[in-house]
Chains A and B, each alone.
Chain A
Amino acid sequence: MMTLIINHKKYELDLKGNETLLEVLRDHLGLTGTKTGCEESECGTCTVNINGKAILSCVTFACALEGESITTIEGLAKGELLHPLQQAFLDHGSVQCGFCIPGMIMSAKALLDKNSEPTREEIDYALDGNLCRCGGYPKILEAIWQAGREMKKDQELKDIVNESIELSESVSAKST
């Protein structure tokens, strides 16, 4: 038995050893948001995040991932509240047939979590593993820039809030 942490949830699984992460997600756990487009690490539709990095689940052994934090497309929205990337993809019309979208969003998320203001070149390199056969790249780029701006704003707000919490804690500590 082993434990996989997917979208902040713990899953106890009895694995044989030869399962790819993609198989575990789709066939064992019913998380079908992550797709299979080629099984040869070329198309990127199986992209998930592991410890914040974009990883192809079709060439990852599930059994090597005990204790590591795995995020799939299903883990991005908080209830009804969409992640800025999901919202941006909708706002910019970046979604056509949609099959590439989960993988595309996960690659973009890994990029934006590290760098919320990427240049065109940086986005091209970050997405070079994700195919979109519908050719939606121009609108996908626009969406990523918008999401980056939103995420930067969110982070700045978070920083302000954290700063004021720290400040009030230090004030109350001094006063006691």
Chain B
Amino acid sequence: MATMVNKEYVNPVGKSVPRIDGKGIVTGQTKYAFDVSFPNMLIGKMIRSPHPHAKILSIDTSKAEKLPGVKAIITAKDTYNIKFGSNEYFFPHTVDQMAIESEKVRYVGDEIGAVAAIDQETAEEAIKLIDVKYELLPHVVDVEEAMKPGAPQIHQSMNNIAVILPVNFGNVDRALKEADYVREDRFYTPAAHQAALEPHVCVGQWEAFSNKITLWASSQAPFKCREALAKTLKMDLNDVRVIKMAVGGGFGGKLEMLPMDFAACLLSKKAGGLPVKICYNREEEFLSSRRKHGMIYKLKSGVKKDGTLLVMTGEVIADGGAYCSYGPTVIAAAIMRIFMVYKIQHFRISGYRVYTNTSISGAMRGFGGVQSGFAIESHMDLLAKGIGMDPVEFRLKNITTPNMVTINKMVLTTNGLRECIEKATQAAGWKEKHGKQKHLCRGLGIGIAADVMGAKMYKSHESAGSIVKVEEDGSVYLFTGAADTGQGSNTALSQIAAHELGVSYSRVRCKAGDTEITPFDTGSFASRVTFISGNATKRAANDAKKQILSVVVEELKLNIDDLNIIAEQVVNAKDNSVVMSFDKALELCYSFNYGRQIIGRGSYNPKTTPVDFRTGEGNVSGSYGFEAQIAEVEVNKETGEVKILKMWDAHDIGKAINPQSVEAQIEGSLVMGIGYTFLENLQFDKKGRPANGNLANYRLPRSMGMPAMESILIETNDPEGPFGAKGMGEASLLPTSAAIANAIEDAIGVRIKELPITPDKIIKALKEKEEQENQEKNEK
């Protein structure tokens, strides 16, 4: 049910208050990095390899440098040749990319330099004048070909396997023998693209007199970007400023420094400090930013007659593209998610993150969980079918519970999975409809998932910091490093700050993601912001509150534990009687006798244990979120088209800080999941270039055909989360494809194991089913 905005701004946690930054957006005033423009600003363009795999022999920029209007050109010789990566903490050998490659290029589009000129035409003209000599090397595009001995070697790793993750628990071989029913399935999930509407864009400027750089960025992780820039430019952190502007969507593609960020800064330095703007056009977006790992997911599992999921084995082969980016942790996440969802004692899945000469696979919303969600949730339905058990009953038999430790040492505290399944199935009418609508070619399918609330992926810590500053007129600043990319974190964090401080939400202004002004935050990924940055903000607001109360206490000779601030009043904590108004208390703080500035600070690093990626053990997150999703479909057997009638998503979010925002995240994830299920398929040609790298051919979901969506919010009140909140951002994307595939099987009895589910696959599967049934009839 759609939630309307709530204009009661006192005690804002739990209310759907309006977006703190909404007005600027609806009036077109909000500035994205895309809109940033300065006088004398130069336009930068990357120099890209036209070859999928080659040695760089020489680069001659002399002609280009003479072109009028060209202000700076950089190649590898202008850099320190320092590599950067996104999993350096856990997988140091996967730090394999240079912002400007010096020796080799590994995919069509690989960056070997950059040009800054007075306008785009001049920059493009200059690039045409640059003479690059390559020695072509054999290349490989198909991931299974890349793993074969003798395949072209892209980096140093054997068989192009960057990382092997052999996750192994229990005694798999014995368990397979003990199972009553064993089945094997192969699933395929294609590469896809984040396709944020705002392309990758940045403006870099170098200040000569202070040797400092500023980058106006469209980034989900400004601090990560700062860190990588500092490393590759050999600068101190406090000489690199990354200012996150409003971000027009990230979805994982803007979670790290890209060569453009590096190039904009270095070009500016070489151009004497003129600001340089680099913006990828849509073709470059598909060619050379980041993408989703295509995965081959092989599963072989065994169950007992009574429905116990005894053992799961298999192999995951992920197409990583030319460099590692977040690849290793994506594979790890893909494999290990299952332990949050199902109790399983015997498990052996090996994950291979493989290099190919194609664009770079990195993080995309879901982080491996979309691929594993499709494979595992489809496989679970097939296992249930094999023992004649209802898919919901089968899941309920095997799901994790509250307050348990999983076999790989994840500590699950609040766990609303059972309630999610029960509420979703009830709302969807599972008992009445599942298996009973075949005559209408309609079916119901379920998929369940769990998600982390943060994960220590690229650093030793993943803390967030916040500062809450209360001005003398009672207005409040919240400084947070958290990166709002549209999910509403500025709003939610401001609500937390206001609620904890005891004031109206309308008093708060939020300043986020400026590395020079706001405290550190690892960024927007792994659905971490509400939980981790929220806790930091709550602590900062609490600290500010205590500072105010300490003045009141001093003035009135009271005990600080006797006081609180609620609904803009300083009150007696025991009976809520008013002592004085908040504004009066503030007046006191800033009065002649006290003159105390109120600057509250807080930081939060979740209590987790390091993950040992060799064994798969470790409590990766401070809390876990859960959900169950049901899809109802209707299939047109003649055209093969699948219409989604409705989707239900029951979600354990701990506590909804802003219910409207949570609904929007759920609905948004469902839409993206529907797109991935039916439409999105990033394909590569023989040279590894995107074959459908534009919006005309890479189809994205539109309003037409989007089904009704019902979000059911389940509040388990996490003891660790701020006001009980866990958060969410990705989870509703994880089981969608499987829920739909399961519903299609319920409707027409065919199983599609390869995404996207296109009408031709349905027609083909129906034909094969008919042929098989005829054959069986004839044999009888």
Contact = CB atoms under 8 A, between A and B. Distances in A.
Interface in A32-59: 32-40, 42-43, 45
Given A93-B3, A95-B22, A97-B486, A76 B27 contact: yes
A9 to B, nearest CB: 15
Contacts of A93: 3, 5, 16, 19, 660-661, 663-664
Contact of B25 (A31, A72, A95): A95
Contacts of A82: 23, 26-27
B704 interface: yes
Given A96-B486, A97-B486, A135-B669, A128 B703 contact: yes
Interface residues of A, number: 55
B31 interface: yes
B4 A92 contact: yes
A73 interface: yes
Interface string B1-18: 011110000000000101
B28 A33 contact: yes
A33 B664 contact: no
Interface in A72-99: 72-74, 76-77, 82, 85-86, 89-99
Contact of B282 (A32, A40, A132): A40
B2 A133 contact: no
Interface stretch (B245-253, B349-357, B387-395, B449-457): B245-253
B30 to A, nearest CB: 6
A33 B694 contact: no
Given A73-B28, A136-B668, A137-B703, A90 B23 contact: yes
B695 A43 contact: yes
B196 A133 contact: yes
Interface string B687-716: 000000011100011111110110000000
Contact of B251 (A31, A102, A133): A133
A151 interface: no
B492 to A, nearest CB: 12
B27 A33 contact: yes
A112 interface: no
Nearest to A145: B2
A139 B664 contact: yes
A17 interface: no
A127 to B, nearest CB: 5
Given A125-B704, A131-B700, A95 B198 contact: no
B253 to A, nearest CB: 11
A141 interface: yes
B197 A97 contact: yes
B251 A42 contact: no
Contacts of A125: 704
Contacts of B23: 82, 90
A98 B246 contact: yes
Given A32-B35, A40-B695, A139 B667 contact: yes
A132 B706 CA distance: 12
Nearest to A75: B28
B485 interface: yes
Nearest to A100: B197
Contacts of B696: 40, 42
A108 B21 CA distance: 21
Contacts of B282: 37-40
A102 B19 contact: no
B28 A91 contact: no
A136 B701 CA distance: 11
Given A96-B487, A97-B248, A138 B706 contact: yes
Interface string B184-227: 00000000000111110000000000000000000000000000
Contacts of A90: 5, 18-19, 22-23, 26
A70 interface: no
B622 interface: no
Q: Which of B4, B26, B31, B487 has the most CB of A within 10 A?
A: B26
A137 to B, nearest CB: 4
Interface in B705-760: 705-706, 708-709
Contacts, number: 172
Interface in A90-134: 90-102, 105, 123-125, 127-128, 130-134
B695 A42 contact: yes
Given A76-B27, A96-B668, A133 B18 contact: no
A141 B707 CA distance: 12
A140 interface: yes
Interface residues of B, number: 59
A36 B35 CA distance: 10
Contact of A40 (B2, B486, B667, B694): B694
B34 A77 contact: no
A19 interface: no
Interface in B241-273: 246-251
A136 B26 contact: no
A35 B23 CA distance: 17
Nearest to A86: B26
A28 to B, nearest CB: 12
Nearest to A142: B2
Contact of B198 (A77, A99, A138): A99
Q: Do most interface residues of chain A lie in helix, strand or loop, or is the interface mixed? A: loop
B25 A101 contact: yes
Contacts of A37: 197-199, 282, 695
Contacts of B591: none
A33 B700 CA distance: 23
B124 to A, nearest CB: 14
A138 B665 CA distance: 11
B488 interface: yes
A36 B34 contact: yes
Nearest to B658: A93
Contacts of B672: 133, 135
A100 to B, nearest CB: 6
Nearest to B702: A128
Contacts of A95: 19, 22, 25-26
A133 B448 CA distance: 23
A31 B28 contact: yes
B661 to A, nearest CB: 6
B47 interface: no
A91 B5 CA distance: 5
B29 interface: yes
A77 B695 CA distance: 31
A91 B579 CA distance: 36
B728 to A, nearest CB: 14
A167 B704 CA distance: 45
A108 B478 CA distance: 35
B664 A96 contact: yes
A92 B19 CA distance: 10
Contacts of A26: 35
B353 to A, nearest CB: 26
B668 A134 contact: yes
A26 B2 CA distance: 35
B670 interface: yes
B613 interface: no
B34 A135 contact: no
B281 interface: yes
B668 A99 contact: no
Contact of A133 (B3, B30, B195): B195
Nearest to A33: B28
B32 interface: yes
B229 interface: no
Contacts of B22: 89-90, 95
28 contacts: A32-B28, A35-B34, A36-B34, A38-B282, A38-B694, A40-B695, A43-B197, A76-B27, A77-B27, A89-B22, A90-B18, A90-B22, A91-B18, A93-B5, A93-B661, A96-B486, A96-B668, A97-B485, A99-B248, A99-B249, A101-B26, A130-B702, A133-B700, A135-B671, A136-B668, A137-B702, A137-B703, A137-B706
A-B interface, 4 closest residue pairs, ranked by CB to CB distance from nearest: A33-B28, A97-B486, A135-B671, A99-B248
Interface of A: 26, 31-40, 42-43, 45, 72-74, 76-77, 82, 85-86, 89-102, 105, 123-125, 127-128, 130-142
